[in-house]
A and B are shown apart, each in its own frame.
Chain A
């Protein structure tokens, strides 16, 4: 079976999600890892990228195309599947091939249902972070460049950097996420969240209440109308746990919840539920973690 993996880079390095996608594909068949190259400094649109890949597929079609389910990856994969008229499965948490079909486990209803779904090959699939475990120092797969031409009718104008998020790990790919909610009482109190996230090397998330109030940017929202995350460790600070939030994070491996209110729903599903004033507890936890992680 022939498989293409369309990889994304962060700086000079392949993104972890792309390495995971390549490792998963290698389990299923013979892999070519492709990288899209625009012309010069110009960013290329996902349509232009899909066109370049479709032209390559017309010459020698693979059975399966795998893309990491980053926002850009999902966009590209959808347009590509439509262009080729192939089966499309997005945000697969598990993927296998059986009897000429791609079989995936993916979440539906914003995380409230886990579905096992099959579709005939050839197929385009996007895979979620964590689909495979790859070791950090494993040699990256060799990639092949695919040239992307500019798209008629759509031109890149400029990039506007957002102020808030800084240089942290992308939320969807993070192994550790520290999320905070209304219990923080105001945006000026995020320092304790950031300090904890720094010690853990974590991405920062937020509840909807907090993004709606404008305390934090929308891109940090976890849950329905935000991101679904499945990290190894999810730390929820002052989040009560509305059903829409739980749907977006309850598949995390280990959950820690800190809340003053002993009836908060999130405390009931947490592996470690701490009933305490987070303004006292969080700085103390940051200190203790720094000690046990040898970062003193």
Chain B
């Protein structure tokens, strides 16, 4: 089976994101960049399939600025077979629909059986590119996926919904947008890191894939940190029952939430 995973490089989840002085961008200085968490889960699902069926190949593609090459290096070190960087002027700020159009070009050439990506990137948190990619390719998609397996005549795909999972069967190629699943993404092994260093990562210019980079654009009017919460009332060192009674009354009479 031929799998292709689309990933995005974003600020690492432990980074304290700061809004820049222009109030429209974030401070990128000193940021540690990483593969977006759900994309890491997508890589892990693909690699688990490869573990079970060594005939599987896992390709990884990203669209972004030159630094996104590090995300591909990481994916290769985790065990992906090959990687491609789509970059060039405009790549960093490309809209969701245009990103999907560019990635679709790469996918049409690579002809994978399944495309996986995270259900949303943890920078803009939009959750558009996977669905838009399927739409551009004219493929079905299944979102919020936690598992997939090959069966006779296609692929069975588990979609997390409230209260359980729906199981869907795709007869042909499909796009899967991946949710956090049971196994945490693996760490790269030392031999994996050594091997990844030697691999060549071909590059494509985004404007060679899609001449028109415009897509329904979003304008960021302003960014701000979430409202700062002040420390509230502290209750300690008291009789547990008395504290519980006081809190219950405060929640009713002061906070008015019960």
**A residues lining the B interface (CB < 8 Å):** 43, 45-47, 70-72, 74-75, 78-79, 81-83, 85-91, 103, 106-120, 123, 151, 153-162, 165, 170, 176, 200, 212, 218-219, 221, 224-226, 232-233, 243-244, 247, 250-251, 253-256, 262, 267-277, 280-281, 284-285, 287-289, 291-293
* Interface residues of chain A: helix, strand, loop or mixed (majority): mixed
Q: Which of A47, A71, A113, A156 contacts B226 (CB 8 A)?
A: A113
* Interface pair A47/B225, CB less than 8 Å apart: no
Instruction: State the CA gap A86–B132 with chains docked (Å).
Output: 11
Residues of A within 8 A of B124 (CB): 108
* Interface pair B180/A221, CB less than 8 Å apart: yes
Interface centre among A120, A151, A256, A272 (most CB of B within 10 A): A272
Q: Which residue of A lies closest to B96 (CB)?
A: A88
* Interface pair A109/B216, CB less than 8 Å apart: no
* Interface pair A284/B257, CB less than 8 Å apart: no
Interface centre among A153, A156, A170, A255 (most CB of B within 10 A): A153
* Interface pair A293/B258, CB less than 8 Å apart: yes
Contacting residues of chain B (105-120) with chain A, CB-CB under 8 angstroms: 120
Given A78-B131, A82-B100, A288-B245 contact (CB < 8 Å):
yes
Instruction: State the CA gap A119–B95 with chains docked (Å).
Output: 11
Nearest CB in chain A: distance from B18 CB, A:
9
Q: Which residue of B lies closest to A257 (CB)?
A: B232
Given A78-B131, A281-B240, A225-B37 contact (CB < 8 Å):
yes
Residues of B within 8 A of A110 (CB): 13, 122, 125
* Interface pair B248/A292, CB less than 8 Å apart: yes
Residues of A within 8 A of B231 (CB): 268-270, 273
* Interface residues of chain B: helix, strand, loop or mixed (majority): mixed
Nearest CB in chain B: distance from A123 CB, A:
8
Instruction: State the CA gap A112–B164 with chains docked (Å).
Output: 29
Residues of B within 8 A of A275 (CB): 234-237
* Interface pair A103/B221, CB less than 8 Å apart: yes
Contacting residues of chain B (152-187) with chain A, CB-CB under 8 angstroms: 156, 158, 160-172, 174, 177, 179-182, 184
11 additional contacts, CB 8 Å, given A120-B216, A275-B234, A288-B249?
A71-B143, A71-B144, A78-B132, A88-B126, A113-B224, A114-B226, A157-B169, A158-B166, A270-B232, A273-B233, A287-B244
Q: Which residue of A lies closest to B238 (CB)?
A: A276
Nearest CB in chain A: distance from B40 CB, A:
9
Given A79-B134, A225-B37, A256-B251, A262-B236 contact (CB < 8 Å):
yes
Nearest CB in chain A: distance from B118 CB, A:
10
Q: Is the C-beta of B84 less than 8 angstroms from some C-beta in chain A?
A: no
- The interface size of chain B toward A, counting residues with CB under 8 Å, comes to 89
Instruction: State the CA gap A156–B167 with chains docked (Å).
Output: 6
Given A89-B218, A157-B168, A256-B162 contact (CB < 8 Å):
no
* Interface pair B224/A154, CB less than 8 Å apart: no
16 interchain pairs, CB-CB under 8 A:
A47-B134, A47-B140, A75-B131, A75-B144, A78-B131, A88-B97, A88-B216, A113-B224, A154-B169, A157-B169, A170-B162, A221-B180, A225-B122, A268-B231, A275-B237, A288-B244
* Interface pair A219/B160, CB less than 8 Å apart: yes
Nearest CB in chain B: distance from A265 CB, A:
11
* Interface pair A118/B221, CB less than 8 Å apart: yes
Nearest CB in chain A: distance from B220 CB, A:
6
Q: Which of B142, B164, B229 contacts A160 (CB 8 A)?
A: B164
* Interface pair A159/B166, CB less than 8 Å apart: yes
Q: Is the C-beta of B1 less than 8 angstroms from some C-beta in chain A?
A: no
Residues of B within 8 A of A243 (CB): 14, 16
* Interface pair B247/A158, CB less than 8 Å apart: no
Residues of A within 8 A of B156 (CB): 157
Given A88-B216, A119-B216, A288-B244, A267-B234 contact (CB < 8 Å):
yes
Residues of B within 8 A of A158 (CB): 166-167
Q: Which of A115, A280, A291 contacts B248 (CB 8 A)?
A: A291
* Interface pair B134/A253, CB less than 8 Å apart: no
Given A82-B135, A176-B257, A114-B216 contact (CB < 8 Å):
no
Residues of B within 8 A of A287 (CB): 244
* Interface pair A107/B125, CB less than 8 Å apart: yes
* Interface pair A109/B128, CB less than 8 Å apart: no
